[in-house]
Structure formats: structure tokens, C-alpha cells
Structure 1
């Protein structure tokens, strides 16, 4: 009996010992697949679903098979995870293939834009804990990195200067007063300061659009009874104005001036306004008079009730004379400095050669708009900060620094410029929060790679009631961020509201490719090419080639790729590595495009 037991035990040990080599040998028949294939990077990580199928009879009770999954690229390895099979989970291992599906994710790292492979190294183990490794099995290739082809959009927002250089008309007002019941313009009125002011104004021959004269009357005696009196007073002033024009030899200039006369009759509005402005009447007295004026009685009944008030004499003295007038409003062309004068003065103020008082705040900010030179803009905005210390001046001073930073190739210098810009955007917001300053902060933080801060600034900017240019800048920055986060539909919507800038259209087209909207992407990228004929279009053509490849349109792929490498020869090497074109890599069209 002992002999039988010993033989049985020996058989079990022999069986256990030979299980591991058999598992390793069988592992060569395993099937490893992924979705997607090739692997793709989105939002700076690679997500995929992996399925492993082992051959029949590879697994047995008590055994495990653990596959260590890695991504191998450019001489480096990235740990991905493990896929583990337990023999006890597959009781029908003699007839059925053990199968397991699992999701994996690993972060994108620099260098992964070169071709690589997923590999799996298996470890077979028995229930006693003994192990034996398998060879390394390469399977899915990677990576498709199209999502990383975004181009940051640095749309800089300048605050409005507030100056209007177009012709504007401004009102000039002169009132003439009349005796009760009379439409005659007295010498005491024409010789008053008001009369002399009007004479001087007419003598200067100011460019005038309209002269509107409104005649009024008081609610007393003959002034109230003559319903034609208000109109007559207006006509009297009109005649006086025209006589002065003739005196000062206007000739044909008078023909361009439109005269309008109006009559205000039995209206209590002016009475109440004049009454409330009086300094001698008490609030109680004013209230009594207003109550009568607001009553439902007739105009003359109200006038009679006012005459019975104990303080009526003050109304007659302080209020009624001011109602017997002709209000004259003249719309004259506003005096403005011509643009060349503003430009010269702005530069001189910036250089310290002229007093800052030579231009008002709006004119000085506008002067910066009149020069294309960033250095001159910077100096003028600096002068504006010293003059007004306004949020607009600080924002625009920072904006100039951003425009400099966009052109700076030296990273240290670029960072210094961006840091200076951030300081002034923050100062601008401390004075008054604005969409311009927050939109610029988002751009500045993006340039520094500070995505969290950039998003916070964008959120602030989005909540501001900004002009269209600022709103577009916000949407442009937002759209690129959304592509980087893998939010392609959202990015398409944002960039669709960001205007027609070539770089905006490029990123929108890229987002459409990533959202599998290839036809729409081709149309958008063609618009990008039309919007800017510079060498930057190489990338538009390159992404069009990708869209064509995804649509299985080989001729469009070849044509666009050829245009891309013609504009930028460095794209040849990229195309040769790009798995987007793998299905066409051996074709003559592709070879000719990248040769």
C-alpha cells in the first residue's frame, strides 16, 4: 500500500513539475488584441481595452498566468499593468479557450511620438508558488498622436481706448427770457452774457447741423391765454439767429443748417422741474403746488388754484419768469484733433517732450493705436499709466508684453515678458475686473504651461460682459484647452464661436478630425489655408492628409501631404513615423509625397 502511495505522489510531483514548461510553451499560441489598434493618445493619456485569449489546455486547476503589460518606445519602457488568468476560473479549460478583457491606461510621455509597441511578458505559476517566465510577446503598435497637434492660440485683448475719431455733434444750449405776454426779444437779453455767447458762437461759423428752438409760457394771465405765444417766441429767436448769420456773412453755409421751432403749450412738466429746483420755497410749499399741478382740473383752474396759495408771490417771482422763455439747442460739430496730431502728441508725451495734459486720457490711449510699432505702443501705454493709472492702461501695457512674448524665441526672455504682463493684468483687475484682463491672463498662463490658472482666468473672463473680440479670444483659448482634455465636441463649439482666425480654424478642423467628422474637417482646414497663406498652413495640409487617410481617400491624402512637406520639409520624417498613414506607407503616392 505504501508503494502505491509513493508512486502516486511521485506522479503528482512529476505532473506539477512539467506543468510550468507546458504553460510557457503553450503561451506562444496566446492571442492578444486591443481596441483601438493602433493605440491612440487622447487628453495626454492612452486608454485601451485589451483582450487576452489563451490556448485550450494551457491552464489547469491551481495555476495562474500573469501577463505584465508594458509599452516599449525609443529605448524606454512604460509600465501599463497586468492581465491575470486563474486556472480555477476556467473549469472547461480542456475544451474552451480562457478569455479575459480588461481596460488599461497609461500617461503619455515625451518620446512616445516615435513608434512603439505594447509587449507582454507572462509568468506561469503553479499552486505551490513556483514560477516560470515566458518570452516577451509584442502585439499592438502605437501611438497615434494626432490629438497632440494642437496649436496654442494667443489672441491678445486690448481694452477699448474710448475715443471716437469720427465726426460727432454736441449740443450747445442758450435760453432767452421774455416779459409776460410778449414775444419780443429785449435788448437786455441779446446784450446779456447769453446773447453775447450766441453772437460769438455764430461768428465763429461752427459747423452746425440743427438749431432747435422751443418756446414756452407760464400759467399766468396773458402768458397763458395766448396759445400762439410759445410759437411766436420760438420764431423770434429763430429770426434773431438767422439775422446774426447774415451779419457774419454765412452765405451758402446757412443752407446746410436745419432750423426747427416748437411750441410747448399748457404743460406742467417744466413748471414742476423749475419749482423743485427753487431754493427759497419749502418742501411743504413745493408739495402743495405740485399736488395742484398733478390734479385733474383744467389748466386755467389749476392756475387759479395756484394764485390762491399764500406763497403765490414767490412762485410769481421765482418760477414763472423762468417759464417764459425760448430754449435754443444747437447741434455743432465737436472739436477734435486730427489723427496725425494725436499720433505726434502721443509720441512726444511718451518721450517726455510734451505735457501729458496735451491729450485727454482717451486720446492718449488712442494714440497708441495709431502706431504699428510695439516699442512706441509700450511707451505710450506707460505714459498713460502715469497720467491716469487706469485699468485700461495697465491691461494694454501688459498686452504689449504678451505680443512681444509671442515673438520671443528665447524661453527665459519670453517667461520674463509674460511675468511682467501678468503683473499688469492683475493690477488692471484690482482697479476694475474686466474680460480683457482675464482673457489675457488665460493666454499668459497658457504660455507658461499653468493650465489650472489659465482655466480659472477663462472662467472669470467668460462671466464678464465683454465685447466680441474678447469673447472670441476666450472661446479660442477655451477650445484648444478642450482639445487637450479630449473634449472634442465641446472644442468644436467653442472654436466655432472664436472667429475666422487661421489658427482658430486649424484647431477647429483638428477637433473635427478627432471627433470623426472628416468631411467637415476638410472644409474647415481649407478655410484655414485661405485665411492665411503663410508656411503655417503646412500643418493644415498635414491634418487634411490625416482626414483623407481616415476617409480612405488616397488621392486627397497624397495631394495634401505633398503640399504639407513642400511648405515644411520636417514633416517628411513625421509622416514616415505617423501610424495614421500606415495603410498607405507602401503605396507609390505616399512614397512620392514624402521623398
Structure 2
């Protein structure tokens, strides 16, 4: 008995001595970073920085107590790392405690970085005894916003605004939609006053903007029993509307026509519900909770009928779904006649010669020329002939768009500098909102967001032109998202849009502000406006992920990554999909 007790005492003494003497050479079987916590649980980009708090405690337990403990925090990427310093340890009864708030300037490499706690102890502290990953990656959802940057494997976005001539409509495409309504269960266009008024409005639109670039006719049917049990009625309505337009002497080229139908789809109902004023916000949320739950159409229909007030809503809104929707993208005719074109060519080929063309004629010629090289020649000549902000601004826009088309960063920077010199000259002639907008556009492409915002804010107060304000406010709203002013951003996007990029930015503003119902509508509108534009699908995937609809998220994410290499790479590291990344199904969609 005495020998056993003596041996156990000697053994315990030797172990204690070795632990004390060897420091980090023998690591106690204890997890000293087990209680290390980070808030928020995922790192988030906000206003060009990443903010988080780390706290924890290290237990002091007899022989397993750490010797000379030290905790460091490190952010580690594939090629770069930042040591955020050592945490101060406070010794208390039975433990060390630590805690600190961090704010670090965001850099692009941090998006896929890992935040780690490193624990050291003992005499040899050349390498950590223990590591703990606190967070993977940085959520950079606001940086998805489209502000005109060129991305690989994506169409080159248009940047810059030409000053319009005044004698010719603006260099902007116009969009409008028109709805023709049908009796229940019918696909015959009835000559009602309402349909007559719609037809007149459509004709007036085409008269003003005869250069049609696209026309889409979508047949819609309501969920009523009288509307039938298949999609044939919707397509019949679309085709009947096309015949009605042709008989009304509206010429439609087949190459510009897209004809389709929607059935067993709550998209149009959600659009109507958004503007329906007879429901409280709380009651609308009940409807949206069903419409966005990812269930099949019939299940959602059954659940909607259980909501108090559904009968009144269906009575008011379902008749508006017995329709065909005509969407038109068009712009005014442009250009000079043959005699004016000859005068223009003579002036371009002669030094200081104008040949009698007015400033408006020159501006129309520049505006209607499809090639940037021709625009450059015309606007450059105009700077010799006329003292006006228009040629300097419009020549600057040509330089901006040339910069978009080069892959050489040095050449791109030189073109931006040249554009800025031209814009400065334009401002010396006239304090013009278009010039300020273009300066702001260049600044945001250079990453100088605050300076850009100031320029755009100054531009917005100089004109009441609705087309300009819509585009200027859209860019301001996009910058609001980057700056973290999400609620303000939603107010910037209260305009009618037609491009998938604008719809996506609008949806992103709602998503970041927590208004998921309106975000869903805008993302779906982005998908409808351009199915090859993957960002709308990515937005829908984000919505599904935050609401726990994993299967729906994967469906939308697959569509997004198939359409964009940028989104493919982002999805692989986006912390918004961290939970999905734990499943085999997530990696299946990347094959």
C-alpha cells in the first residue's frame, strides 16, 4: 500500500515538473479557447469597415493551468494576413477573461478570409499551442450592387449621360406597359371603354417613340374556377391581344416580339397586393408570409383562403388578373437628313468650317451616331465651333464608355482622367447636372464613394427632368447601399424601371433593410427583365437562405452561378450560404 502511494506521488510530481519546465512542448489536454466568442456570429461589411467584438475566458485549473498565457487575433486570407494584436488578459478567481471591440478597414481579399484566435503559453511562444476559427469570410452583400463596374463574363454596362439636345428626345430608351382586360374565362378582346382607352394610350406611346426595340405580350389568368384549370387561357389571351393590336394598324415585327403566358404563378397578384390600400401592413404581411414560403401553388392558394379578409382581396384583385399585359421598350427616331449629313461630312473634313449647321443639328448628329468613334469625331469638332457644355460633356461620356471597353488598367485610368478634364471644362461653361452626374459616376468607379455622393447630390437639385432624376437617384441609391443607408436607399428607387440591373439594385436595398416581401418582388422583376442576368436569381437565393428554405435557395443559386462566373466564385465563399455549404447538395450544383 505504501509503495503504491509513493509511486503515485512521485509520478504526479514528475508530470507537474515536466509541464512546468517544458512550457509549450507538452500541451495540456484542455481547450483554452473553448469559451472564445465573436459577435456578430458572421463578419459583415458595413460602411467600408468590418466591426465585431471578441470575448472569452481561460480557466485556471491546478496543473492544467496555462503558463504565461497569451491570446492573439489574426485575419488570414489565401495570400495576405493581418495580425489584430494581443488581447489583454484580466486575471480573476479561477480564470482569465478577455474582450475587445474591433473595427478594421475592409479590403477585397478579406471576403474569403478566416478570423482566428491564437493561444500561446509557456516559454517557447514561436508558434501557437491552439487555434480556433471564430468566423469564415465577410458578408459583402451590399457590394453586389451594380454601379457600372465591368465584371468578367458579364455584359459591359453603359455609363455616363449625354446632355440631350432639346430638339430631339433624350438618348434614353423608354418603357411602358398596358393591360387589356377580359371577361371571366374568355380570351376575346371586348371593346370596352377601358380597353379602348388602353389602346389609345399604347398608340400615343408608339407615336412618340416609334423606334421599338422590344415588345412583350404576356397572357395572365386569375385563380378563379371560371378561369379554367390549365395555362391555355393565358396564351389564348396573349395571342388574341396580338391580333387585336395588328387589326388596330399597329405594326409589330416578329423579331421584336416575345409572347408568353403565366399560370399557377402568384407574381402578378403580389404586384397588385403591393399597391392595395384596403389592407393594413400587418395583414399584408400575413399574405406575403404565405406567398414567399416556397410551397407549391395549390398549397399557397389553400393557405391564402384561410386569411381573414381574403374574400374581399380576391373580389377586388382577381378581376385584374383576367388580362394580357403588353410591355414596350422604345425610343424616338433620330438622325439628320441626307443634305444635312453631307454638310456634316464637309464640316468634319475642313478646318474651322461649319457649313451652316446649327448647334442642334450637330448635337443630333452626335446623338444619333451608333459608333463611339463617330461620336468622338463629331463632339470633338463641336468643341472647336461652339462654346457650350454639351460637346465637352458628351465627348467625356465617349471617353468613359471607351474606358469601359479596355482591359488595360493604365489606359482605363488615362481615359477617366481625360474625361474628367473635359467635364471640368464643361463646368466652367455651365453648372450642369449631367456634368456633375458624370463626374460622380467616374468617382464611384474609382472607389471614391463619398466624393461621388456629393457630386450626385449637387446634380439632383439642378433639374426637375424626370428621366435624369430617375437615373441620378438610382446611382445615389446604389451608393446608399454601399454606405449602409439601406432605408434611405429604398426611397431612391421609387421609379419605374426596365433594366434587370435597376430592379436588382432596388431589391438589394429592400433586402438589406429587412423588407423581404418587396425585395422578392424586385428580384423577380430583375429575373423577368433579363433571364441571362444572374443577379436576380442570386437575390432570390439570399432570400430563401435567410428564411431557411434550403431547397429553394439551391434552385435559385444554381441559376445564378450558371449565368455569371463572378457569382460562381462569390457563392463558394459567401457566408450567407455557410449553412448550405455543410450539405452535399450545395456542392452538387457547382459540378
* TM-score bracket relative to the smaller structure: 0.5 to 0.7
SS across alignment from 1:358: coil
Give SS of 2:102's match. strand
Going from structure 1 to structure 2, the CA distance change for 1:131 and 1:440 (only over 3 Å counts) comes to closer
Note closer, same or farther for the CA distance 1:131–1:121 as it changes in structure 2 (3 Å cut): closer
Q: 1:480 to 1:562 in 2, by over 3 A?
A: same
CA 1:27–1:346: 2 relative to 1, 3 Å: same
In the TM superposition, what is the alpha-carbon distance from 1:365 to its structure 2 partner? 1.1
> Is 1:147 aligned with 2:145?
no
Mapped pair 1:72 → 2:76: yes
Q: Which residue of structure 1 aligns with residue 117 of structure 2?
A: 119
Whether contact under 8 Å (1:124, 1:132) holds in the other structure is no
1:388 CA displacement: 1.5
Spell out the pairing of 1:9-158 with structure 2 (5 A cutoff). Answer: 25=28, 28=32, 30-55=34-59, 57=61, 66-87=70-91, 90=92, 93-94=93-94, 99-122=97-120, 135-143=129-137, 144-153=139-148, 155-158=159-162
TM-score (norm 1): 0.59
CA-based RMSD of the aligned residues comes to 3.8
Give structure 1 stretches of 5+ with no counterpart.
Answer: 1-13, 166-336
Aligned pairs, how many? 400
Q: Normalising by structure 2, what TM-score?
A: 0.59
CA distance in 2, matches of 1:394, 1:408: 22
Q: Could you say what secondary structure the match of 2:510 adopts? A: helix
> Residues 47 and 122 of structure 1: is their aligned pair in 2 closer, same or farther, counting only changes over 3 Å?
farther
2: CA distance, partners of 1:29 / 1:164: 70
Q: Does the aligned pair in 1 maintain the 2:400–2:419 contact within 8 Å?
A: yes
Instruction: Please tell me whether the aligned partners of residues 51 and 104 of structure 2 are also in contact (alpha carbons under 8 angstroms).
Output: yes
2:579 equivalent to 1:583: yes
Indicate conservation of the 8 Å contact 2:490/2:506, yes or no: yes
Cα distance, 1:110 vs structure 2: 3.7
Q: What's the CA shift for 1:547?
A: 2.2
Say if 1:371 and 1:572 are closer, same or farther in 2 by CA, change over 3 A: closer
Partner of residue 506 from structure 2, selected from 508, 530, 552:
508
Relative to structure 1, is the Cα distance of residues 99 and 588 closer, same or farther in structure 2, using a 3 angstrom cutoff? Answer: same
CA separation of 1:590 and 1:474: change in aligned 2, threshold 3 A: same
**Paired position in structure 2 for 1:538:** 534
CA distance in 2: counterparts of 1:59 and 1:368, whole angstroms: 84
Corresponding residue for residue 547 of structure 2: 551
TM superposition shift of 1:32: 0.8
Matches within 5 A, 1:425-504: 425-496=423-494, 499-504=497-502
Contact 1:64 1:124 in 2 (8 A): yes
Aligned mates of 2:48, 2:400 — CA distance in 1: 27
Contact 1:123-1:132 at 8 Å conserved across structures = no
Deviates more, 1:495-504 or 1:52-61: 52-61
Q: Which runs of 5+ in 2 are unaligned?
A: 1-15, 149-157, 170-334
Greater alpha carbon shift after TM alignment, 553-562 vs 565-574: 565-574
Q: Once the 2 structures are TM-superposed, how far is the Cα of residue 147 of structure 1 from its aligned partner?
A: 3.1
Task: Report if the CA contact (8 A) 2:114-2:133 is conserved.
Answer: no
1:184-583 aligned at under 5 Å gives the runs: 339=337, 341-352=339-350, 355-496=353-494, 499-533=497-531, 535=532, 537-569=533-565, 571-583=567-579
Assess if the C-alpha contact under 8 Å between 1:27 and 1:55 holds in 2.
no
Q: Distance in 1 between matches of 2:441 and 2:122?
A: 53
Describe the SS at the equivalent of 1:117.
strand
Contact between 1:64 and 1:84, CA under 8 Å: does it hold in 2? no
Q: Distance in 1 between matches of 2:486 and 2:102?
A: 22
Query: What's the offset of the Cα at 1:496?
Result: 4.1
Name the counterpart of 1:298.
Answer: none
Structure 1 residue 57: deviation in Å?
4.8
Distance across 2 between alignment mates of 1:380 and 1:488: 42
What do the CA deviations read for 1:103-122 (whole angstroms, capped 9, x no partner)? 21223334323352322224
Displacement of 1:429 in angstroms is 0.6
CA-to-aligned-CA distance 1:375-410 (integer Å, 9 cap, x gap): 222222223222212111211121222222222232
Q: Which residue of 2 aligns with 1:181?
A: none
Instruction: Evaluate the alpha carbon distance shift between residue 396 and residue 76 of structure 1 in structure 2; reply closer, same or farther with a 3 A threshold.
Output: closer
Note the C-alpha offset of 1:557.
0.8
The answer as to whether partners of 1:66 and 1:82 remain within 8 angstroms in 2 is yes
2:457 match: secondary structure: helix
CA distance in 1, matches of 2:135, 2:484: 21
- Whole-Å separation in 2 of the counterparts to 1:423 and 1:338: 30
